[in-house]
């Protein structure tokens, strides 16, 4: 298939891997921030190709993985209200709250529907004027523009029965929090590609400037990831720290102005937002501006809004920061499995734990670092 196959060529991958190996003998730890990259790394077995000295650390960029228990409970409480049609993306359905998940809520009578886009949710609202339709919005700047556009559309069309339960988060404060964390030891970053199509590469420049870490913003095909690893390793060995753009076919330095305008029109930063495993991070969450309060599900419905502590046994936080490997968590593969996840890293296919559980059993990299 065009635009796909050329980025998955095994022969090119082999050559690239050899070049990476030739660049350095020094052990380097590189974090891929985005869950999409984690998924690609495991799906294509990229770690098998990397030389021994390169270790990939799987970062916090899976929006499903970092949504805290309390917010899942709030979602379920909205979904269970009579008359509500609750809509969300498919991978959110199985994310555990403190007691249950949305799939269970659906089984006991909540009208929970899977949608592919917030516009689908708006369409459902228009088709069901007698019902309240709520969209569970989540994700980084990648998905925030589509939520923003949908709210703007709803406002234009005067739709009264549509609202958004907003859990959008932003990548830069999270990166900053990670870089400030004293237990973090990283030599460079693979920057998120999809987020960067919206925000551009400029927002990461502080990583290179202030923290002296190389960054390569990467696409999601396996050769993209491998080439980005090459770029970071080359920077590290040459003693450079810059933001390089591997994903030039989609990403520019300044991002997508229209999408950013929509975000700024509809959302404003929250003072704090809680991340599962990472705790509260200042200015890392978005909420609807008061101008669009009519579409804010948190104002429209009473949500419990309780802060629920992460399960004690679960070590998602250390895993998200790359301090611990998934299998070093006590419940990994025992109490916590993809069928009955305790931590959210086990739920989504982009979560590090699920990736190791599903794909990592033959991985050389595990053997090496265990």
Partner 1 sequence: MAEPFTPSPLFQRVERARRRKPHVRDTHITLAHGSGGRAMHDLVEGLFLEYLKSPLQEQLEDQAVFEIVRQDYEGYSDSPLRLAFTTDSYVVDPIFFPGGDIGRLAVCGTVNDLAMGGARPLYLSAGFILEEGFPVEDLRRVLTSMRDAADEAGVHVVTGDTKVVQRGGADKIFINTSGVGVVGSGVLISSTRAEVGDKIILSGTAGDHGTTIMIARGELELETEIESDTAPLNSLVREMLEAAGRAGGASDIHCLRDPTRGGVATTLNEIALGSEVCIEILEDRVPVREEVKGACEILGLDPLYVANEGKLLAVVSPGVADAVVARMRENPYGRDACVIGEVRAEPQGIVAMRTGFGGTRIVDMLVGEQLPRIC
Distance, in Å, from the CA atom of 195 to the CA atom of 304, rounded to the nearest integer, reads 31
Question: What residues from 268 to 327 belong to the interface with partner 1 (CB under 8 A)?
Answer: 327
- The H-assigned helical ranges of the chain are 10-23, 35-43, 46-49, 69-79, 102-107, 118-127, 144-157, 171-180, 193-199, 205-211, 222-238, 257-266, 297-300, 316-320, 352-359, 364-369
- CB 85 to partner 1: min, Å: 15
Secondary structure (DSSP) of 105-137: HHHTT-EEEE-SSHHHHHHHHHH-TTSEEEEEE
- CB 212 to partner 1: min, Å: 32
CB-nearer residue toward partner 1: 51 or 269: 51
Candidate list 46, 121, 198, 352; residue touching partner 1; CB under 8 A: 46
Provide the mask over 117-156, with x wherever binding to partner 1 is found by CB under 8 A and - wherever it is not.
---x------------------------------------
Candidate list 28, 30, 33, 49; residue touching partner 1; CB under 8 A: 49
For position 359 contacting partner 1 by CB under 8 A, the verdict is yes
Candidate list 25, 107, 282, 293; residue touching partner 1; CB under 8 A: 107
Among the residue ranges 27-35, 113-121, 199-207, 295-303, the one whose residues contact partner 1 (CB under 8 A): 113-121
CA distances 242 to 16, 22, 25, 77, 238, Å, are 21, 21, 21, 46, 11
Candidate list 42, 86, 135, 247; residue touching partner 1; CB under 8 A: 42
- The H-assigned helical ranges of 257-370 are 257-266, 297-300, 316-320, 352-359, 364-369
Q: Give the residues lining the site for partner 1 (CB under 8 A).
A: 1, 4, 8-10, 13-14, 42-49, 90, 93-94, 103-104, 106-108, 114-116, 120, 222, 327, 332-334, 337-340, 356-364, 366-367, 370
């Amino acid at each position: 298939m065009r635009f796909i196959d050329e980025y998955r060529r095994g022969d090119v991958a082999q050559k690239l891997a050899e070049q990476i190996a030739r660049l350095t003998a020094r052990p380097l730890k590189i974090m891929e921030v985005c869950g999409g990259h984690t998924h690609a790394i495991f799906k294509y077995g990229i770690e098998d190709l990397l030389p021994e000295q390169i270790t990939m650390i799987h970062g916090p960029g899976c929006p499903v993985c970092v949504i805290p228990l309390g917010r899942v409970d709030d979602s379920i409480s909205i979904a269970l209200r009579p008359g509500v049609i609750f809509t969300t993306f498919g991978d959110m359905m199985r994310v555990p709250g403190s007691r249950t998940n949305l799939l269970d809520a659906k089984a006991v009578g909540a009208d929970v529907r899977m949608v592919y886009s917030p516009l689908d949710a708006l369409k459902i609202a228009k088709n069901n004027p007698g019902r309240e339709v709520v969209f569970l919005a989540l994700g980084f700047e990648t998905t925030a523009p589509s939520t923003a556009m949908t709210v703007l559309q709803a406002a234009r069309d005067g739709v009264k029965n549509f609202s958004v339960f907003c859990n959008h988060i932003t990548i830069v404060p999270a990166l900053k929090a990670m870089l400030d964390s004293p237990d973090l030891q990283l030599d460079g970053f693979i920057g998120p590609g999809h987020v960067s199509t919206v925000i551009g590469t400029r927002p990461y420049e502080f990583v290179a400037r202030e923290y002296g870490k190389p960054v390569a913003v990467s696409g999601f095909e396996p050769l993209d990831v491998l080439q980005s690893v090459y770029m970071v390793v080359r920077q590290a060995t040459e003693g450079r720290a810059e933001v390089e753009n591997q994903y030039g076919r989609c990403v520019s330095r300044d991002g997508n102005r229209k999408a950013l305008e929509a975000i700024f029109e509809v959302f404003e930063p929250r003072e704090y937002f809680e991340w599962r495993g990472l705790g509260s991070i200042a200015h890392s969450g978005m909420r609807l501006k008061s101008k669009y309060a009519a579409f804010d599900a948190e104002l429209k419905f009473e949500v419990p809004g309780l802060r629920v502590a992460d399960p004690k046994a679960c070590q998602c936080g250390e895993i998200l920061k790359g301090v611990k490997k998934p299998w070093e968590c006590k419940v990994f593969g025992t109490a916590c499995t993809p069928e009955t996840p305790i931590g959210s890293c086990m739920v989504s296919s982009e979560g590090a734990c699920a990736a190791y559980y599903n794909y990592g059993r033959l991985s050389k990299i595990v053997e090496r670092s265990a």
